[in-house]
Every structure is written in structure tokens, then in C-alpha cells.
Structure 1
Amino acid sequence: MKQDLKEAINESPMSSFQKFVLAVCIALNMLDGFDVLAVAFSAPHLAADWHLSGKELGTLLSAGLFGMAAGGLFIAPFADRIGRRLLVLLCLFAIAAGMLASAFAQTLDQLVALRVITGLGIGGMLASISVIAAEYASNKWRSGAISMLSTGYTLGATIGGAITGLLLTHYSWRSAFLFGGVCTLLIIPLALYGLPESLDFLIAKRPKAALSRVNAILKRMKRDTVNELPDADRIAQVTHAPMAGVVVPSPLMVLRTVLIWIAFVCVMAGFYFVMSWTPKLLVQAGMSASQGVTGGVLLNVGGIVGCTLFSLVSGRVKLNTLLTSFLVGSTVLLVVFGANASRLQFAMPAAIVLGAAISACVGGLYALTPLLYSPTARATGVGWAVGMGRLGAMVAPVLVGVLMDKGWQASNLYYLFAVPFLFAVLPVNVIAYTIRNRDAGVTMTLSKQHEIL
């Protein structure tokens, strides 16, 4: 069992514990969706209470996204040093503290600072749970497992948004942050019990008592224990990391990193434009305020459908082909949606389909990114990609606001943001090309990567 530990996990059906780990990761990702939508729903009430200007409100809404970007870029890499599990737990305490303290903020500056702290926790956590989901999934379901994480965002946005809306009808805006903080505190015991340390981290870094910790995890998975840890280099090969074992980034790794950053920036900019601005743009196109909110909710419902569909199909279709199809489909749907946004009978069902397509694109990028890095750099690679994506998300709302001030119509904005989805096809396929041509024929194990990409 020395050399075959990870190969056995990769090739065998997923155990109930592995599925439970994925469910925990999805639950943790719900905090991201809840946080974004809860703030958006609370913003009008907060603006009225504190008499905020449009600029001040925009600063508040951007603070969380800024924190998430910084968390991905600067906090997430620590997971490759101290462990994925420990970093997730620390980030959860930061999220809980940020949300609870936000409920008692007395000034705008205080609330902006607390929104940044909350964002740091969420951004730092996202990379680690993506990596853990990737490492505990079998080869067949790895892409599907990671893309399923995106359902956590949409579930958090849908359920959390609905509860927040109900709270705001009876209580002040502070209730939304208080509810979010309490929910985060309640989810910490779940993470303590159900979120194990990454096997790849334990094998590659070999911290104190690594062997006993690995065997404890294997017992929970109902698999045979081992007498000694596998070779770290061997593990790097069988975990689908084409650049595994490289200490100094090679030109090829740098190229892939830049390409995945470009893809994330494009997709996240388009995603946050659609999710953030569609309710308002539907009203601008002639619908009522309630119809605009309904359109926003349907986008998130579609997101759940899209991520689930992507996960189910990913076990049968190559990841590169599937992701490219959804990127092209999102481009077409944005153009069609923009041209017909004023038609109620069309816009509402189309919102579900559009939400499904763009959410699947996000899930696909999350599925692709961990495959590009070795176990010792995986959280850093994913964290940087997610952080760059959040920077794209920050730019999109500002750009839309400027263009609306210049008189742009809703349809033209959807046409504009169709372009990033189409452009993202290029870096995704170049990454797949470099993997096929760089890694083809190296070993039988690495050739399995072709089945994914």
C-alpha cells in the first residue's frame, strides 16, 4: 500500500466520507453567496438609515469584493504552509467576527473595514475548500465535485437572500449581518468534524504525526491503513498535477498561470455583471421593481441547475470540451437575453437558462485550476486565480455604472459582457493544448489527464 495509496483513492468509487467532505465544502461555499446578496439587499435600508451618497454606497459594496480578492491573493497561499484545514478554520472565525461586528458598526468607515475583514476570510477560505474537494474526489468525479462547489454560492445567495429579505421586513439592516454571523458560528463545528486535512498536503509536507493523521483519514474512508507514507514525488504524479515537483516555476507553469488568470477575470467580470445588475436593468427595460427582483432570484435558481448539470455531465465529457461549450453558450445567451430583456414572458425563463450557463462556467474554472499545480503549490495557485477573478468582479460594476451614466441601454451592456465569455475560450483551450502536448506519453498515470481535459 505504500505507493498505491492515492492511486487507489483516485480510481475507486467515492466513499460516503468523501461525499460528506464535498457536502461540507459546499456548505462552506454558501457563506460566499449569502454574504454578497445579503449586503446587496441590505444596502438600500442602510443607505436610508445613514443617508449615504451613491459614492459611499458603492464603496461599501466594493469593500467585500476587495477583501475577497486580497484574501485569495495573500491569505490563501498560507494553506500550502500551515495546511488547508487550519486555514479554513481560521478564516471561518474571521468571517464570523466580521459579520457579527458589522451588525454593531456605528460609522461607515467601521463598516467598510469590517466588510474587508469578512471578505479576507471568504477569499482565503475559497481556495482551500476547492483544493480539498479536488483532492478527495475520485478521478471520474473530480471535475464534477469541484464544479458542484459553485452550487454552494447560488444556494447561499438564494436561501440567504430570501431569509434576509424576510428579516428586513421586520427588523433593521443589522439583522442581516447578525444572521450571517450566527450561521457562520454554527457551521464551524461542522467544519471541525467533517473537514479533514488534505492527504496531499500531509504527504508532501510531512508535518508532525503525518502518518497517524493519514491513517486516521483512511479509516474514516473505510480504506486500508499504511505503514509508511508514499513518496512525495510519486503523489505529485498521480494527482493530475502536470507541473508537480517543480520548485522554481517554469515558463510553462507561468504561462498556464497567466492564462487561467485571464480566464477568471473574464468570466467573473461577466458573472458579477449579470448577477449584480440584472434586477436594475430589467426595471430600466420596462419591468416593475418586483419583476426585476424575481429576475435576479431566477438567475440564482438557474445557477443551481447549471452547476448540478455540469457536475453530472463532467464524468462523461472532457472538461475542456464541456467548459468551452458553456462559455460559447453563455456568449450567445447574453446576446439573446439583451435583445429581449424587455419582454417579460421571455426574460423570466431565459434568466434561469442564463444563470445556469454562466454559473457552470465559474464551476468549470474552479474544476480546471487545481489540475495545473503540484500539491505543495495548489492552494496558492487556486487562491491567486480566485483573487484575480474577484478583481475582475470589482471592475465590472464600476464600468457598468460609468456606461449607464453615459446613456447606454440595457441591451448594449449585455452585448458588451458577452465578449469576455467568448474571449475566455482562448486561454482555456491554450491551457488544454499545453497539457496535452507537454505531458502526453510521460507516464500511464499522467495520460489520465487527457481524459479530463
Structure 2
Amino acid sequence: MTTTVTPTAPARDLRDHLERAPMSLYQWLIVACAVLLNALDGFDVASMSFVSVRVEEEFGLTGTELGVVISATLIGMAIGSIAIGRIADLIGRRWTVLGSTALATLGMYLAASATDVTQLGIWRVLTGLGVGGILTSITVISAEFASNRWRGLAIGIYAAGYGVGAFAGGIAANGLQADFGWRAVFLAGALASTVLLVILVLVLPESVQFLTRRPGSDKALARIARRVGFDPARASVVAERSAATEGTHAGLQGIFGGGAATVTLLLWLAFFTVMFGFYFVNSWTPRLMVDAGMTAEQGVIIGMMLAIGGALGSVLYGVGAARIDREKLLLGFLGLSAIAIIAFVLTTSILVLAFVLGVVVGMLVNGCVAGLYAVAPTRYGTFARATGVGAALGVGRAGAILAPIAAGSLIDVGWTNVALYSTTAGLLLVGGVAVFLLTRRPVAPDAV
């Protein structure tokens, strides 16, 4: 997985080196940290769903009350993505990731000590705030430290971390709560997150794009340069850029000013529809398959097929992005996802085929999420990048929150499985239209 730099065109500066040179072991180590951080998201969401029955029994919750507790983390993530994204553009990505990881870890420890449902809900929101802040900044760091050739693969591997974490959450829930209670699952997550925080302190660098625009960053840039095989003496040299192409608008001006509003709204529409579809498919499919005539065990297997497919899909998108334009590839994934979802719901009576299509649906839908993660950072300049990506993630989390609630309401009024899945497929096509219109807009002048 290497590329070659043309001998007659040496790297102008550290940013240019990261963009064009073969990726170093250190750069892949940064991607590995991103995978583990995204796994924290998957673990947290999955573990709550696995312990929900015991939480419901202990606190005597109604279905509505349990639903609020389950959604608490997603609400926190939406707020954290938007609010903490702006902080990352002000103080840097590294400190935002470290602080957000510490916040999520604290939330997990506190959730393990909750004595009533109100406490649990509050601590789940706190955990969500941290996870939302993590995803905003680590998505940007992953994109900036990956070379142009392998950026899609790096983001794809990063997105696959969600499935890894969800799988780990299931193992932890099944192995711990029977003997030690549901709180042990959150305690296990908190301990793992504590170890990860120590690793991040030792490994995670600041964004080079951010450092090159901050005075007094020469030592930090030289340290990164040594780790990626670039001349430290040239690390702080920035290529000449005109004011018109600098792309340094920050905050709301950076995501709404200078023609960026259209890009932002298209990204929001794409994130909302894709995340709605992703969370509907992953949260409701096991239950709806039971309604379709499967046993509860078979419904769980379908859920596992979706998770397996999801991990594969993220990597598949990344491999494809090394050879195909990222946005065009995302369009293909969106179209195929819509087709696969309809084929899946129409063939649930054929068990083997349903299992196979479950893998395909999980693969394609998660590939769409990976695609959005890869595309979003290219649409904003350095000082608006975390703000823009964070806002898009926040809107996406709104879709994630709405999906299970809307599906439950529609089921209550008599919607069939075919109607539910067909509507989800239609929303993915709407996301495809948004991405298509996005391809007609230029990328940011200093895009990664």
C-alpha cells in the first residue's frame, strides 16, 4: 500500500509530503487509533441495547421511558458533534480528542454507578457528548494524515471500527451481565477507554494543517516530520498561497459564507438520510424479522449478518476509493443500498437468502457512512473543517435519533415491513441526489 513521489517534484512542505508520499507506519498507527475510537462508539451504542432488558426490569420502565434512555447517548452525540466541532477548530484536534475521550470515559464510569433511571439518562448524555466530540475531530485527523491515494481506504478502515466495537459490546454484555449485572458492561467499557486514552496521549499528534497556520508550532511540526520520514528542518515551511485560495474562513462563516451554504446543506441532507437509513436497518431489523415469521434467534442472526456486512462494507468502500472518485463511488453505494434493501424485505421468507442479503445490506449501508466520512472533510477549509464535519455529523445523529422513533410510530399505525424498508430505500436515493449535486460544487481550496 505505497505510492511513489516523482523524483523531479519533491514535496514542497510537510503537508505536501503527507498528501503525496508513501504512508508511514506512524500514519497507519494514527488510523489504528481512529479505528479504536470509532469502536468506542459502536461498543457504547450496542452495549446499551444489549443491557436494555435488565435496565428496564430493574427500574420498572415503560417502553417509552426505555426508548428515551436508549436515545440519550445519541442526543449527546448530536450536541457534542456540533458544539465540540467548533472548539476543535479553535484549540486544535488533538486536545479536543483527548478531552472528549476523557469525557466519554467519565460518562461510562458514572453510568456503571447509576442508582436510578434519571442518573443513568444523564450519564448516557454525558457519554454521548464525549463520543460526538471524538468523532468530529478524529474524522478530520484521519483524513489529514492519510495520503491522497489511500485516504478513502483509511477512512473506510476507520468506519469499520463501529462494527468491531458493536461486536465487542455484544460479547461483553453476554459474558458479564449474567454474573455481574448490567453495570459491569459499562465498567468494562470505561476501563478499556481509560487504556485507550493513555495510548492517545502517547501517539496522537495535532493536525498538520492546523499547526502550519498557528505561530510557534515549529517544534510540533518537526516532531511529526521525523515520525513520517520528512526533513524536520523543512517542516514549518508552507508553500505560498494567495489570499483568494487560502480557505481560512472559520466557524459559521466557513460553513455558510462565500458560497459554502449550498455545500453545507447538501452534506446535511446526505448525512441525515444515510444515518436515518443506517440506524433504522440496524436497530429495527431483528425485531421486524420476528414479525415477518422468523424466530427470535433467527432475528439475532440477521442482526449479526448486518454487523459483519457493515465491517466489510467500510473496507470495501475504502479499497474502491483508492481507484475511483470518492463521490462517484458513494453514489454507487447509495443506489445499490436502495436496491438491496428492497430485495431484502421481499425475500425474508427464504431464510438463507435473507441471511445473505442481510450481509449485503449491512455492507452497502455502512459503506455509505464511510463514504460520507471520506467526502465531508474535503468540503471545508482548515479553520472550518472540524466545525463543518461536526455540524454534518450532528445533523446525521438527528436522523439516527429520529429513525427508531419514527419506525415505532409507523408500526403502531399499521405500516408493513415492505412500506418501512421501501421508504428507507427512498430516503437513501434522496441522499444520492444530494451527493450528485455536491459533485457539481468545487472542493475547498485547501482540501485534504
TM-score (norm 2): 0.93
Quote the Cα distance in structure 2 between the aligned partners of 1:46 and 1:342. Answer: 33
Aligned counterpart, 2:128 = 119
Q: CA 1:74 to 1:232, structure 2 compared with 1: closer, same or farther past 3 Å?
A: farther
Q: CA 1:343 to 1:168, structure 2 compared with 1: closer, same or farther past 3 Å?
A: farther
TM-score (norm 1): 0.92
SS at match of 2:349: coil
- C-alpha displacement at 1:411, in angstroms? 2.3
Tell me the alpha carbon deviations over residues 226-258 of structure 1, each in whole angstroms, 9 at most, x when there is no partner.
357234874999xxxx88234544342111011
Tell me the alpha carbon deviations over residues 357-399 of structure 1, each in whole angstroms, 9 at most, x when there is no partner.
0000000000000000111111111111000000011111111
CA contact (8 A) 2:286 2:300 kept: yes
CA contact (8 A) 2:326 2:375 kept: yes
Quote the Cα distance in structure 2 between the aligned partners of 1:338 and 1:168. Answer: 33
Moved more, 334-343 or 48-57: 334-343
Q: 1:50 aligns with which of 46, 54, 59?
A: 59
Tell me the alpha carbon deviations over residues 83-107 of structure 1, each in whole angstroms, 9 at most, x when there is no partner.
1111111111111110111011011
Tell me the alpha carbon deviations over residues 311-348 of structure 1, each in whole angstroms, 9 at most, x when there is no partner.
11111111121100000000001111111223311111
Unaligned segments of structure 2, at least 5 residues: 1-9
Matched, 1:401 2:408: yes
Output the amino acid matched with 1:6. Answer: R
Q: 1:84 aligns with which of 93, 98, 118?
A: 93
- C-alpha displacement at 1:403, in angstroms? 0.8
Q: 1:109 aligns with which of 112, 118, 129?
A: 118
Aligned counterpart, 2:437 = 430
CA contact (8 A) 1:236 1:375 kept: no
Quote the Cα distance in structure 2 between the aligned partners of 1:146 and 1:236. Answer: 30
Quote the Cα distance in structure 2 between the aligned partners of 1:103 and 1:121. Answer: 16
**Off by >4 Å, runs of 4+ in structure 1:** none
Q: CA 1:236 to 1:174, structure 2 compared with 1: closer, same or farther past 3 Å?
A: farther
Aligned counterpart, 2:217 = 210
Aligned counterpart, 1:266 = 273
CA RMSD of aligned residues (A): 2.0
Aligned counterpart, 1:28 = 37
Q: 2:248 aligns with which of 245, 248, 264?
A: 245
Quote the Cα distance in structure 1 between the aligned partners of 2:174 and 2:143. Answer: 34
- C-alpha displacement at 1:222, in angstroms? 2.1
Output the amino acid matched with 2:310. Answer: G
Q: CA 1:232 to 1:169, structure 2 compared with 1: closer, same or farther past 3 Å?
A: farther
Matched, 1:198 2:201: no
Q: 2:27 aligns with which of 18, 24, 42?
A: 18
Q: CA 1:227 to 1:328, structure 2 compared with 1: closer, same or farther past 3 Å?
A: closer
Output the amino acid matched with 2:71. Answer: S
Aligned counterpart, 2:323 = 316
Output the amino acid matched with 1:346. Answer: L
CA contact (8 A) 1:204 1:232 kept: no
- C-alpha displacement at 1:3, in angstroms? 4.2
Q: CA 1:392 to 1:131, structure 2 compared with 1: closer, same or farther past 3 Å?
A: same
CA contact (8 A) 1:331 1:421 kept: yes
- C-alpha displacement at 1:2, in angstroms? 9.3
Tell me the alpha carbon deviations over residues 50-109 of structure 1, each in whole angstroms, 9 at most, x when there is no partner.
111011101101111000000001112101111111111111111111011101101111
Tell me the alpha carbon deviations over residues 103-137 of structure 1, each in whole angstroms, 9 at most, x when there is no partner.
11011111110000000000011011000001100
Output the amino acid matched with 2:248. Answer: G
CA contact (8 A) 1:3 1:234 kept: no
Quote the Cα distance in structure 2 between the aligned partners of 1:273 and 1:422. Answer: 15
- C-alpha displacement at 1:143, in angstroms? 2.1
Aligned counterpart, 2:145 = 136
Unaligned segments of structure 1, at least 5 residues: none
Quote the Cα distance in structure 1 between the aligned partners of 2:415 and 2:185. Answer: 33
Q: CA 1:216 to 1:345, structure 2 compared with 1: closer, same or farther past 3 Å?
A: same
Aligned counterpart, 2:5 = none
Matched, 1:419 2:411: no
Q: CA 1:3 to 1:246, structure 2 compared with 1: closer, same or farther past 3 Å?
A: farther
Q: CA 1:246 to 1:297, structure 2 compared with 1: closer, same or farther past 3 Å?
A: same
Quote the Cα distance in structure 1 between the aligned partners of 2:220 and 2:202. Answer: 14
Output the amino acid matched with 2:80. Answer: G
Tell me the alpha carbon deviations over residues 268-326 of structure 1, each in whole angstroms, 9 at most, x when there is no partner.
00000001011101111111111111111111110111111111111111112110000
Q: CA 1:228 to 1:167, structure 2 compared with 1: closer, same or farther past 3 Å?
A: closer
Matched, 1:380 2:383: no
Quote the Cα distance in structure 2 between the aligned partners of 1:334 and 1:94. Answer: 37
Quote the Cα distance in structure 1 between the aligned partners of 2:219 and 2:242. Answer: 18
Aligned counterpart, 2:103 = 94
CA contact (8 A) 2:334 2:428 kept: yes
SS at match of 1:382: helix
Q: CA 1:233 to 1:149, structure 2 compared with 1: closer, same or farther past 3 Å?
A: farther
Matched, 1:160 2:169: yes
SS at match of 1:401: helix
CA contact (8 A) 2:305 2:362 kept: yes
Quote the Cα distance in structure 1 between the aligned partners of 2:29 and 2:319. Answer: 17
Quote the Cα distance in structure 2 between the aligned partners of 1:5 and 1:92. Answer: 28
Quote the Cα distance in structure 1 between the aligned partners of 2:237 and 2:81. Answer: 30
SS at match of 1:204: coil
SS at match of 1:433: coil
Quote the Cα distance in structure 1 between the aligned partners of 2:350 and 2:293. Answer: 9
Q: Sequence identity, in percent?
A: 38
Q: CA 1:232 to 1:121, structure 2 compared with 1: closer, same or farther past 3 Å?
A: farther
- C-alpha displacement at 1:434, in angstroms? 1.4
Aligned counterpart, 2:194 = 185
SS at match of 1:52: coil
Aligned counterpart, 1:289 = 296
Quote the Cα distance in structure 2 between the aligned partners of 1:397 and 1:235. Answer: 48
Equivalenced residues, count: 435
